[in-house]
Amino acid sequence: MGLFQQVVLRSIRRQLSSLGSEKRPFIAGHKLLYTCNLRCKMCPFWRRQDEKLLSLEEEKLMLKALADFGVSFMGFEGGEPLLRRDIKDILAASHSLFHTSLVTNGWFLKERARDIKDYLDYLFVSIDGIGELHDRLRGIPGSFKKAVEGIKEATKYLPVSISSTITRENMHQAEEIVELGRSLGVSVSFQVAYDYSTADKMSPDAQRLRGVLERLLEMKKQGYPIVESKEYFMSVINSWYHNDPWECKPWLTINIDPQGRVVTPCYVLNEYSGTQRVWETDLRKLWASIDWDSYRSCNKCALSCYLEPSLFSWRNPSMVRERIIDNVISYIRSRGSPAPQ
Ligand code: SF4
Ligand code: SF4
C-alpha cells in the first residue's frame, strides 16, 4: 500500500475515533522560521527576530511526536521555508510519515523545485495580485515574476496551488487571480486577511468582501479551479452576514512555532506564540486540558486550515468526494505520470 493510501486510511481511522469523546488533531502546521526575503504588508512574521532555530534532529523529534499523536497531514510554512538550507532533509523526514505540503512565496522556487519535489505531495505558492499590485503588497519588486516562474517550474513535478490572501487592496482582483491560476494550470486557494496586532491592518471592507465571496462561490459552482469547498464559502457568508456561525473545531489542527512549541488554541488567537516544545510535552494531556468548547462559535477568522476541517463531515457526500476521493485520484495521477527531467 502506498504512503498516501496509508495516510488516508490513518486519517479515516482518526476521523472515526474523533466521533468518540477524545479530541485529537489530524492536520499540523509548522512555521520553520520567521525570516523572510519579502516584506508583505499584512504579515507580522518577517518583523520578528528568529531565535535559534530547531536543528534537523529536533525537527525529526517533533515530527515523530506529531505522528504518534495521530497527525496525518503536515504543512510547512514560514517566513520563507526555502531559506532553510536543510529544507530537503526536513521534508524527506516528514514525507516518510505524513502527506506533506509547503507554502512558499516562490522567489527561490525556479532553482529549488527539482531539489524538493520528491518529498512533497502538494505545493502552495503565494500570489496576492497581478503584476505590480502583487509586488506592492509583498514589498519587493520582481516578486510576481519570480512567483510565476517558480509555479511554471514546479508544475513540471508537483500538484501546485496559488495561495491568495484577500485584503482591502486586492479584493477587486480575486477573479483575475483565479484566471491566472487557470492559465497556469493550477488551482487557487483563498484566505481572508486577518488583522494581526503587529502588522498593517489590511482586512477587507465587510460589504465589499461579501460580493467577492459570493462571486468566488459562484465560480466554484461553475467549475473554476478554486481549492476551498462550496461549504467553506457558504459558512463564511452565513456567519459573517446572516449571523449563523459555523462550529469551529480548532483542536483538529495543531500548530507549531519555529521553536517547536505548540500554539493553542489556534495561531490566530495567540498570534503564533507557543508554550511547550512538542516532543517534551504530553500532547494528549495538553489537548485534554483545553476548554475547546469555548471556541465553537468564535468565527473570527476564515482560515481554511481551521475552517475546512471543522466543516468536514463523512455524512456529506460532496465533501467526501472533493476532499478525499478527488485528492486520492489527483495524487495517483500525479505519481503515475513520470515528471519530465
Ligand atoms: S512571503 Fe509570507 S512570510 Fe514572507 S513576508 Fe510575505 S506573508 Fe510573510
Ligand atoms: S474561528 Fe479562527 S480564530 Fe476563532 S477559534 Fe477558530 S481558528 Fe481560532
The Cα–Cα gap between 91 and 335 comes to: 17
Model-level pTM?
0.89
- CA-nearest residue for atom 1, ligand 1, is 105
Among residues 267, 271, 105, 299, the alpha carbon closest in space to that of 198 is found at: 271
Is the CB–ligand 1 distance for residue 194 below 6 Å? no
Given ligand 2 and candidates 235, 299, 304, which is best to mutate, with the most ligand atoms within 8 Å of its CB?
299
Buried b (16+ CB within 10 A) or exposed e, 179-196: ebbeebebbbbbbbbbeb
Is the CB–ligand 1 distance for residue 79 below 6 Å? yes
Question: Which segments of the chain does DSSP mark as H helices, in order?
Answer: 3-18, 56-68, 87-95, 109-116, 132-138, 143-154, 174-184, 206-221, 230-242, 283-289, 304-311, 317-320, 326-336
- CA-nearest residue for atom 8, ligand 2, is 266
pLDDT of residue 336: 42
Q: Cell match 465589499: residue?
A: 208
Looking at the CA of residue 34, tell me the nearest atom of ligand 1.
3
Amino acid at 6: Q
The Cα–Cα gap between 160 and 181 comes to: 10
pLDDT of residue 196: 77
Distance 61 CA to ligand 1 centre (A): 26
**Cβ–Cβ < 8 Å for 248, 299:** yes
- CA-nearest residue for atom 4, ligand 2, is 298
Per-10-residue mean pLDDT for the chain, 341 residues long?
52 54 90 96 90 96 97 96 97 97 98 97 97 97 98 97 96 98 97 82 91 98 95 96 95 94 90 82 94 93 91 68 57 41 31
Query: Residue ranges per domain, the chain?
Result: 23-336
Q: Of the CATH numbers 1.10.287.130, 3.40.50.280, 3.75.10.10, 3.20.20.70, which one belongs to the domain with range 23-336?
A: 3.20.20.70
Among residues 71, 77, 100, the alpha carbon closest in space to that of 283 is found at: 71
Residues 6+ apart with CB under 8 A from 242: none
